[in-house]
Amino acid sequence: MLWMIVLILLVLWLLGVVTAYTLNGLIHLLLLIIVIVLLVRVIQGRPPV
């Protein structure tokens, strides 16, 4: 389940990188923050959701 969420977020992040020219990188920045928060929660041993 967690890997599916991470995979979806990674694909959306890559899409944000590709469309950064039109959306000023907002999607890229938000998805990067989400991935960092999820990684911190997993490293700390908390459930990611």
Q: Please, are residues 11 and 27 in contact by the beta-carbon 8 Å criterion?
A: no
What crossing angle do the helices spanning 2-18 and 26-44 adopt, rounded to 10°? Answer: 160
pLDDT, tens digit, for every residue of 21-49? Answer: 666 667 777 778 888 888 888 888 877 66
pLDDT band at 1 (very low <50, low <70, confident <90, very high): low
Both tokens of 28, joined, read 């890229």
Both tokens of 5, joined, read 């969420």
Question: Over 80: is that where the pLDDT of 15 sits?
Answer: no
